[in-house]
C-alpha cells in the first residue's frame, strides 16, 4: 500500500498526524504530508508518496477514513 496527501484538499487539521504519527506530519506549508517519501517518486513527479509498511497499514487506513476532507489517497 502507498499513501499520499492531496495538498489541494487537505485543510491541515492534523488528525492524521495523531492517528498515524509514524507516517504523516504537518509540513512547512501547514498541510499534511508523508514523513518518508519515496525518493524516486519525488524526482519523477514531485509527489510525496510513501510505501506503507505492514505495521503502519491499520493506522493509515484509520487516518484516511478519519480525514474530514478525504485528502489521504491510498493505492496498492
Ligand atoms: S486529516 Fe486530512 S485534512 Fe487533516 S491534516 Fe490530515 S490529510 Fe489534512
Pocket of ligand 1 contains residue 27 by CB under 6 Å: no
Q: Which CATH class is domain 2-75?
A: alpha beta
* pLDDT > 90: percent of the chain: 95
**pTM over the 0.85 mark:** yes
Q: How many helices (H) and strands (E) does the chain have?
A: 3, 5
> Mean pLDDT throughout 38-51?
93
Report the atom number in ligand 1 closest to the C-alpha of 13. Answer: 4
Ligand 1 within 6 A of CB of 16: yes
Q: Report whether 20 contacts 33 (CB < 8 A).
A: no
Q: CA angle, corner 64, sides to 63 and 66, nearest 5? A: 65
Q: Is the CB of 3 under 6 A from ligand 1?
A: no
pLDDT band at 45 (very low <50, low <70, confident <90, very high): confident
Q: What pLDDT does residue 62 have?
A: 98
Amino acid at each position: 500500500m502507498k499513501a499520499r496527501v492531496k495538498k489541494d484538499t487537505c485543510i491541515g487539521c492534523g488528525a492524521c498526524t495523531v492517528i498515524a504519527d509514524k507516517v504523516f506530519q504537518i509540513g512547512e506549508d501547514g498541510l499534511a504530508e508523508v514523513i518518508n517519501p519515496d525518493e524516486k517518486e519525488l524526482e519523477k513527479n514531485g509527489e510525496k508518496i510513501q510505501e506503507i509498511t505492514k505495521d503502519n497499514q491499520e493506522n493509515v487506513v484509520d487516518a484516511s477514513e478519519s480525514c474530514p476532507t478525504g485528502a489521504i489517497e491510498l493505492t496498492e
